[in-house]
Amino acid sequence: MQLLQAERDALLKPLATVTGIVERRHTLPILSNVLIQKTGDTLTFTGTDLEIQISATQSEGFSGNDFAITVSAKKLTDILRAIPDKTVVTLEETESRLTVKAGKSRFALQTLPSADFPTLAVDTSLKATVRMAQGQLKALLGRVQYAMAHQDIRYYLNGLFLVTEGNLLKLVATDGHRLGFASAELSTSFDKNEVILPRKTILELYKLLQDVDDEVAVDIAGNQVKFSFGNVVIHTKVVDGKFPDYNRVIPQNNDKLLSIERTLLLAALQRAAILSNEKFRGVRLVLTEGVIKILCNNNEQEEAQEEVEVAYDGAPLDIGFNIQYLLDVLTNLAVEQLDFAFGDVNSSVLVTIPDNAHFKYIVMPMRI
């Protein structure tokens, strides 16, 4: 029975949107599949890993009957990508197999019953709906997401802390060694709501958001958050845990202040990093009047030294950091100048953007 006829891109674009979260090898075989549904004039693709669910809709470029079917997300994606652009694709179903026809090509794929597909139960206890431009949320995420922990035993650090408070949306990420904070002013005021979003959700969301002024709606519920933008809807469970009090780690009394051109420091650190220890990734920053010296060495007794002129007239300081933590912030900010506030050799450094209270980045020192 013929289900659908469509141009390749009418299938591939929404399919590619949802396949990022689909697990290729899972104890539940159906979780490797994508749910494809046609209802009236809407074609919907849904993928889930039981924690996150992404749906993408298509409303043009196809014709056919209403149906629901599940098929391997990876295999169907690979087939469609291998078919030439603008090719008309036909989907047919016979005895729990989906046949994909394109020109003189035919592919027969196994299917599983759509009724068995485990869609997330939607939490309707809505606490707040935040609306902002997609580009604004994407930029906010870009400023902090790299500081999230990865497979940390403290599972609540493997994600991003999202807070609404008054007219502010705050995002915080930390792996215990460094912390990123970014906030934005909203047009509406909210009660205080706090949720921890899983790392995988944040990475997919950042990938799918466009740098445009079109709106994204963030619905915060009791144990779930929903993001709606364009033709995409993401439902995600929240991480059950208590996020640490990030305000306690923000240095208040660092008195050694310097301002530096971001790209200048980034280039110097990238060069020095070539000879840093591959395991510990240490870098020494030696501050003297008007100059910051960058020193790296490794187990082979190789050394790199860079000097960058800076506006600094404080006391001398010789302090060590993980060079990757510094490179991360310099790479992910698109600003010209950055301010660094140092304390003593045992104090974290505070990185901020001049005249901008909406961003903070803190890195703990390391002994070298």
Task: Return the pLDDT at 24.
Answer: 79
Amino acid making up residue 248 = R
Q: What is the mean pLDDT of residues 235-255?
A: 95
What tens digit of pLDDT does each residue of 115-143 get? 999 999 888 899 999 999 999 999 999 99
Q: Are strands 67-72 and 159-174 parallel, antiparallel or unpaired?
A: unpaired
Report the mean per-residue pLDDT for the chain: 96
Q: Are strands 2-7 and 62-64 parallel, antiparallel or unpaired?
A: antiparallel
What tens digit of pLDDT does each residue of 324-366 get? 999 999 999 999 999 999 999 999 999 999 999 999 999 999 9
What tens digit of pLDDT does each residue of 287-296 get? 999 999 999 9
Task: Return the pLDDT at 224.
Answer: 97
Q: How far is Cα 103 from Cα 284, in angstroms, rounded to an integer?
A: 62
φ, ψ dihedrals at 202, nearest 5°: -65, -45
Q: Which residues pair with 42 in a beta bridge?
A: 39
Q: How far is Cα 91 from Cα 100, in angstroms, rounded to an integer?
A: 5
In the predicted structure, residue 263 carries a pLDDT above the cut 80: yes
Task: Return the pLDDT at 367.
Answer: 92
What tens digit of pLDDT does each residue of 190-210 get? 999 999 999 999 999 999 999
Q: What single string gives the DSSP state of each residue in 305-366?
A: EEEEE-B--S--EEEEEEHHHHHHHHHH---SEEEEEE-STTSPEEEEETTEEEEEEEE---
Q: Are strands 42-48 and 52-58 parallel, antiparallel or unpaired?
A: antiparallel
Q: How confident is the model at residue 25 (pLDDT cuts 50, 70, 90)?
A: confident
Q: pLDDT over 90 for what percent of the chain?
A: 95
Task: Return the pLDDT at 27.
Answer: 84
Q: How far is Cα 2 from Cα 48, in angstroms, rounded to an integer?
A: 26
HEC readout, 140-202: HHHHHHHHCCCCCCCHHHCEEEEEEEEEEEEEEEECCCEEEEEEEEEEEEEEEEEEEEEHHHH
Strands in 8-127 per DSSP E = 33-39, 42-48, 52-58, 62-64, 67-72, 88-94, 97-102, 105-112
Q: How confident is the model at residue 214 (pLDDT cuts 50, 70, 90)?
A: very high
